[in-house]
């Protein structure tokens, strides 16, 4: 009897073993094949690197348009299509259409167009964007604006299941791309400007049943924080966060409408079984109404994918006074940091600092400015992990109804959601950046459910005393925290970067150019083509029938292009972006299309 029990136990243990190191096997298989572009970042590490090299620095200048496709929607087109085994899956901004296209013929195999209440549109702060689809096990996953998470049959486009992720009537809408890790689809929530309390949620990919939900603020149990096991960086070491780590940093019940939303990009380390992501700004934008560190808004998180339990958390901008949302992607890379090989997490924060952490435990290793014009803080104290704020640029110290002038960066950050790329050959990060500053005047605002809860007036302008433009494309050494090269651009670079084994780095510009540069010398422009509208989409690459293709969405919009996308006129509309980017309308017009390039036969 004992022998049988022992063998049963061993059998069960062996069955459990693969699960410890498994991502989703189908997603792993699809992303391992460089002919596909099977995830929004190409892989689970968010590296945005393609191993394809048919298009290379020697011939990229000869690229021509292979084909184009109109989505029929005239708002901001972020994210990129997916390509899996000869089929392309495209998404659009609201109403969030999905198309499956046969790459042999460019014929539309099926189209899904959800019926969403247009009342969702005014509940979306910064355009009606959607950041893309996920694919796994014959299902396409769409996170609709109205918060419905939908699974579609990849062959037919028929709905397999759907589940409601938030309440749009309260401003809880969605713009993020869902991500599949293991047997779960992970999604977040938008609405920090409506007083939405942020969270990350995991749903079963086969049934849509919610598996876990972890909040960004509030009681430990609701955040899935264990005060004794969850750690953070403090006093120069990794230490347990202790009880009520969030509640202690809010006044009264302000945490219930505290923001910390999660509309960015997520990455996954199979060996650690951990999902990594960032949380956004605390609500409201008037800091005097929410004294304290406002934990855990503005933070980097590591959670166990199976349970949602928090491994570690690190807050970049305690008591945010500038709307420096912390949602930008976490790029996982094994790199030397100050000479020591490290399982790193690299994050280019809106606040203008680039952070390198040890992703196994959240230890802070590097925090340096990736735009020299950043002035709101002098540096990050490496012992406390806290930025050292310059009084002149403190909107809290200056108080409500005082216009604090010349803060760099502006609220849209030295980089917004537009994702950077990591190149394993050069060991560098390729970062699309904003070079924009602002004036910021907070004012008192009352919370009303379902209404904007901002409480600040902003003006934006190019960083003074610089090259006169509003953007740079840079290469970054994350091990030492240094800019290696910087290429100036007229407008912010609001497009996701792509690097390839062909020696090139590609990105789009707000005027609508797709550009490819030499990845070892980014000031060497090798290819430039004007697409029909401004580019805020992410560059991607795939191979079909022996030919490599590079594609990108064009369709001006997003926060930088909100004036054009939503027809706004006043300089301070669009939370200050309308005035800052007024000149854009002289260079591009609304659109919504995909442009795909290849080499001539």
State the catalytic residues: 323
What DSSP character marks residue 564? H
Query: Is position 78 annotated in a ligand binding site?
Result: yes
Q: What 3 state SS string does 266-322 have?
A: CEEECCCCEEEEECCCCCCCCHHHCCCCCCCCCEEEEEECCCCCEEEEEECCCCCCC
What DSSP character marks residue 476? E
Query: Is position 329 annotated in a ligand binding site?
Result: no
Query: Is position 167 annotated in a ligand binding site?
Result: no
Cα–Cα distance between 74 and 196 in angstroms, integer? 27
Radius of gyration of the chain (CA): 23
CB–CB of 313/302 below 8 Å? yes
CB atoms within 10 A of CB 51: 15
- Relative to beta strand 498-500, strand 49-50 is parallel
Which region holds residue 191: left if phi is over 0, alpha if psi is between -120 and 50, else beta? left
Contact residues for 353 (Cβ-Cβ < 8 A; gap 6+)? 316, 367, 368, 369, 370, 374, 377, 380, 387
Cα–Cα distance between 218 and 51 in angstroms, integer? 43
Cα–Cα distance between 110 and 112 in angstroms, integer? 7
CB–CB of 563/105 below 8 Å? no
Which of 428, 235, 465 is CA-nearest to residue 331?
428
Query: Is position 131 annotated in a ligand binding site?
Result: yes
Cα–Cα distance between 356 and 385 in angstroms, integer? 12
Residue 455: Cβ-neighbour burial (10 angstroms; 0-12, 13-18, 19+): buried
Query: Is position 500 annotated in a ligand binding site?
Result: no
Contact residues for 1 (Cβ-Cβ < 8 A; gap 6+)? none
Cα–Cα distance between 247 and 260 in angstroms, integer? 14
What DSSP character marks residue 194? G
Query: Is position 323 annotated in a ligand binding site?
Result: yes
What DSSP character marks residue 425? T
Query: Is position 261 annotated in a ligand binding site?
Result: yes
What pairs with residue 387 in β-bridges? 380
Residue 33: Cβ-neighbour burial (10 angstroms; 0-12, 13-18, 19+): middle
Look up residue 389 and give its two tokens: 């704020």
Cα–Cα distance between 80 and 134 in angstroms, integer? 11
CB–CB of 20/470 below 8 Å? no
Residue with tokens 């014009």: 373
Binding residues for pyrroloquinoline quinone: 78, 131, 175, 261
Binding residues for Ca(2+): 193, 281, 323
Binding residues: 78, 131, 175, 193, 261, 281, 323
């Amino acid at each position: 009897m004992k022998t049988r029990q022992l063998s049963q136990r061993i059998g069960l243990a062996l069955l459990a073993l693969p699960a410890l190191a498994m991502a989703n096997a189908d997603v792993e298989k699809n992303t391992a094949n460089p002919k596909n572009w099977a995830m929004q970042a190409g892989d689970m590490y968010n590296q945005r690197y393609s191993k394809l090299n048919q298009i290379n620095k020697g011939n990229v200048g000869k690229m021509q348009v292979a084909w184009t496709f109109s989505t029929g929607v005239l708002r901001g087109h972020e994210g990129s299509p997916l390509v899996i085994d000869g089929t392309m899956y495209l998404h659009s901004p609201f109403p969030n259409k999905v198309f499956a296209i046969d790459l042999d013929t460019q014929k539309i195999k099926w189209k899904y167009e959800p019926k969403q209440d247009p009342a969702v549109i005014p509940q979306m702060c910064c355009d009606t964007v959607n950041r893309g689809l996920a694919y796994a096990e014959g299902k396409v996953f769409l996170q609709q604006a109205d918060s419905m998470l939908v699974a579609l049959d990849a062959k037919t486009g028929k709905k397999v299941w759907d589940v409601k992720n938030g309440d749009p009537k309260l401003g809880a809408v969605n713009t993020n791309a869902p991500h599949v890790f293991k047997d779960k689809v992970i999604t977040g929530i938008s609405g920090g400007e409506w007083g939405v309390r942020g969270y990350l949620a995991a749903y079963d990919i086969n049934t849509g049943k919610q598996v876990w939900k972890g909040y960004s603020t509030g009681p430990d149990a609701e955040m899935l924080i264990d005060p004794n096991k969850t750690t953070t960086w403090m006093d120069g070491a990794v230490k347990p966060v202790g009880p009520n780590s969030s509640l202690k940093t809010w006044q009264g019940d302000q945490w219930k409408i505290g923001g910390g939303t999660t509309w960015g990009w997520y990455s996954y380390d199979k060996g650690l079984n951990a999902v990594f992501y960032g949380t956004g700004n605390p609500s409201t934008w008037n800091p005097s109404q929410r004294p304290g560190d406002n934990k855990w808004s503005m933070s980097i998180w590591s959670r166990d994918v199976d349970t949602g339990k928090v491994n570690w958390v690190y807050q970049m901008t305690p008591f945010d006074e500038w709307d420096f949302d912390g949602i930008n992607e976490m790029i996982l890379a094994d790199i030397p940091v100050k000479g020591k090989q490290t399982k790193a997490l690299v994050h280019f924060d809106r606040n203008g600092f680039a952070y390198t952490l040890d992703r196994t435990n959240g230890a802070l290793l590097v925090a340096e400015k990736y735009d020299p014009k950043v002035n709101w803080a002098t540096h990050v104290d490496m012992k406390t992990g806290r930025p050292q704020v310059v009084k002149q640029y403190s909107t809290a110290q200056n108080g409500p109804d005082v216009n604090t002038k010349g803060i760099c960066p502006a609220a849209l950050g030295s980089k917004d959601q537009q994702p950077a790329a990591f190149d394993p050959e050069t060991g560098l990060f390729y970062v699309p950046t904003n070079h924009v500053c602002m004036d910021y005047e907070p004012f008192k605002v009352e919370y009303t459910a379902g209404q904007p809860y901002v409480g600040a007036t902003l003006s934006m302008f190019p960083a003074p005393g610089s090259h006169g433009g509003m953007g740079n494309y840079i290469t970054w050494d994350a091990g030492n925290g240094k800019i290696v090269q910087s290429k100036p651009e007229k407008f912010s670079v609001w497009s996701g970067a792509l690097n390839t084994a062909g020696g090139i780095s590609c990105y789009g510009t707000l005027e609508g150019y797709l550009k490819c540069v030499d990845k070892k010398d980014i000031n060497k422009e090798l290819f430039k083509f004007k697409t029909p509208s401004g580019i805020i989409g992410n560059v991607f690459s795939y191979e079909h029938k022996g030919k490599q293709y590079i594609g990108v969405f064009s369709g001006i919009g997003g926060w930088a292009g909100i004036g054009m996308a939503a027809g706004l006129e006043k300089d301070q509309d669009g939370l200050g972006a309308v005035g800052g980017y007024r000149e854009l309308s002289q260079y591009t017009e609304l659109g919504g299309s995909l442009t795909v390039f290849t080499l001539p036969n």
